[in-house]
Amino acid sequence: MRPAAVGLCVRVVHPDLDPALPMWGDAAEGWVSPALDWVGTLAAAGVPFTAGPDAVSDDGRGLLLLPDPDAVEVPVSPGRPVVVGPPPVGAQARLRVLAQALGALVVPDLRGVLLLRLDDPGAAVKCHLDWWKHGDVEPASGAALWDALGPEGAVSLFCCTGFVRDDGTVVDSRTERPDEWAELDEGVRRGAAVLECHGHTHMDPDTTAWAAAPDKHTADHWYRELWPPRLPAEPDVAAQEAVLRKWQDRAGPGTSLVAPGECWGTATVTAARRRGFALLNSWGVCRLQLPVPTWSRGISSPYLDEADPVHLSEGLPAVGYWHDRDMALHGERWAPAQLAAWKDCGAQRLWSFDRLATAYRTPVEAVLDAGEVRVVTRPATPLRVVLPD
């Protein structure tokens, strides 16, 4: 009798995986429980999985992953692959454990991917915050970046669509800074750049209070839009949605969000999810459109001038981020030199965030049938087959 085909997917069951939570995991890769550690790696690597707190959340397909088998009772059918216990160290080891139990595993091929994140284009911070002030990025620097990306590379421009004048008036950034936007649009036209969301203005939404404040040009806290540090509680979901909607009305739907100054909370996560964003980057990457927004494990976000092969050593993407200020201060050779350094460290593909969103959007559906891997459904990105040792 021919053995049944095995679905190459994972079902995780643990009480920590409560679907009512606003998100799973930790943005800064701090300590999390073994269940969230496992799920964060599955999310980062694009492993097809579902997760939940009890046996009801297990549909019986694929591999059953029990981070703590004593924490929950799940019936297991004969012959079903099962992995128990906390994850080993490193994404590669974790994927090998799953492949060993299943016979194979198919995931998006994310090896050697450097996600490029350029922050602050269009924002007024460069004009108002004394210690951060800088001139414009010269057209030659923009052109040098587009050229350095090559025909296949692209950068995400995490930009702001509203410009705050000195009196607190908010105007369209494109109208206020046409030369800056002309250069950004040239990158988009060439296919080298994609607009993504860095908030509407980058600044405290109460721009009237900012304009009247004696420390308006010296205090960083005025330049944090989604959760201004002067507020004890994060603005509610509706307020956060309103900010994101302003950006989308001017720049398009976008796929990804970076909160100005990394100041955000769970209302930001919920609002971004409702507005259709796929990813939130804040050291790690949160996959917003999973059943519960889930933070990656193993994806890091070093500054672009901190190239190091350790960030790519586990077969997951890394985020290289920088600011338009770097290009304004250091000139046209700075960004290309950093990209070259990353290539020397193993970066083989330079991606904008929308490409990662595409890789994650359609889960891989594959089976192991009579010893052969058969892919039924796949994302529009190359795949990687992980085999047992």
| DSSP conformation letters of 305-365 | T---GGGGTTSS-EEEEEEHHHHHHH-TTHHHHHHHHHHHTT--EEE-HHHHHHHHHS--E
8's tokens: 């190459």
Tell me how crowded residue 203 is: count the other CB atoms within 10 A of its CB. Answer: 27
What is the domain count for the chain? Answer: 2
Instruction: Note whether residue 41 is domain-resident.
Output: yes
Do residues 375 and 230 both lie within one domain? no
Dihedral sign, Cα of residue 79, residue 81, residue 86, residue 89:
positive
Cα distance between residue 27 and residue 296, in whole Å: 8
CB of 178 closer than 8 Å to CB of 167: no
Do residues 155 and 225 both lie within one domain? yes
Q: Which residues contact 115 (CB under 8 A, 6 or more apart)?
A: 156, 281, 317, 318, 319, 320, 351, 352, 353, 356
- The residues with which 322 forms a beta bridge, in sequence order, are 118
Q: What is the domain extent for residue 149?
A: 113-358
Instruction: Note whether residue 371 is domain-resident.
Output: yes
Cα distance between residue 136 and residue 329, in whole Å: 9
- DSSP letter at 283 equals S
* Predicted local distance difference test score (pLDDT) of residue 374: 97
E-state strands within the chain? 6-7, 10-13, 49-52, 63-66, 82-84, 105-108, 113-119, 155-159, 162-164, 170-172, 193-197, 256-257, 279-282, 284-287, 294-295, 318-323, 349-351, 365-369, 372-377, 383-386
168 phi and psi, to 5 degrees?
95, -5
1-31, pLDDT tens digit by residue? Answer: 446 789 999 999 999 999 999 999 999 999 9
* Predicted local distance difference test score (pLDDT) of residue 3: 63
Instruction: Note whether residue 279 is domain-resident.
Output: yes
Q: Residue 164: which CATH number?
A: 3.20.20.370
Do residues 22 and 86 both lie within one domain? yes
Do residues 373 and 268 both lie within one domain? no
Pairing state between β 162-164 and 170-172 = antiparallel
Do residues 64 and 118 both lie within one domain? no
Do residues 164 and 92 both lie within one domain? no
Do residues 239 and 324 both lie within one domain? yes
Instruction: Note whether residue 1 is domain-resident.
Output: no
Instruction: Note whether residue 244 is domain-resident.
Output: yes
Instruction: Note whether residue 234 is domain-resident.
Output: yes
Do residues 95 and 128 both lie within one domain? no
Do residues 319 and 203 both lie within one domain? yes
Do residues 80 and 222 both lie within one domain? no
* Predicted local distance difference test score (pLDDT) of residue 1: 41
Do residues 122 and 261 both lie within one domain? yes
Instruction: Note whether residue 233 is domain-resident.
Output: yes
Instruction: Note whether residue 352 is domain-resident.
Output: yes
Do residues 23 and 154 both lie within one domain? no
Listed residue (174, 68, 60) closest to 121, CA to CA: 174
- Residue ranges in the chain whose pLDDT is less than 70: 1-3
What number of CA atoms fall less than 13 Å from residue 318's CA on the CB side?
25
Q: Is the pTM of this model over 0.95?
A: yes
Cα distance between residue 142 and residue 151, in whole Å: 15
Pure H helices in 114-236: 125-128, 139-149, 173-176, 178-189, 207-212
